[in-house]
Amino acid sequence: MRTALLAVLALGAVTACGPSRRGPAFGTPREFTAQEQEGRVLFMRNCNMCHPGGSGGLGPSINNKPLPSAAMRVQIRQGVGSMPAFTDEMLNDAQVDAIIAYLNEMQEEKG
């Protein structure tokens, strides 16, 4: 009898503390794909000084609005306005793709 009661109590404790489905905690680092991660590093190296953290600095903020990938590519390659152009020697196509993938991911977050 006593053992049965203990078993019931123990079972109750296990269910009460059992894993419950939760969303990710606030402040959890995002998970980047390998390409986005490469883009993040390239962004920090080439773009962050004018678009710090994707927000406005010397250049306008680029993380607060959906920018079409094609427009970003033109902006990077041609350097519209006072932004310098990034030539093929500075960033190859795969690197530009990676930066765009990273920026798209960051823009989604702002959603």
Shorter beta-carbon distance to ligand HEC: residue 6 or 87: 87
Binding site for ligand HEC (CB under 6 A): 46-47, 49-51, 58-60, 62, 67, 72, 75-76, 80-84, 86, 99
Shorter beta-carbon distance to ligand HEC: residue 50 or 97: 50
Cα Rg of the chain (Å, integer): 24
Q: Minimum Å distance from CB 32 to ligand HEC?
A: 16
Q: Minimum Å distance from CB 30 to ligand HEC?
A: 18
Q: Residues in the chain, how many? A: 111
Cβ neighbourhood burial of 110 (10 Å; 0-12, 13-18, 19+): exposed
Distance CA 37, CA 39 (A): 5
Q: Minimum Å distance from CB 31 to ligand HEC?
A: 21
Give Cα 24 to chain centroid, integer Å: 15
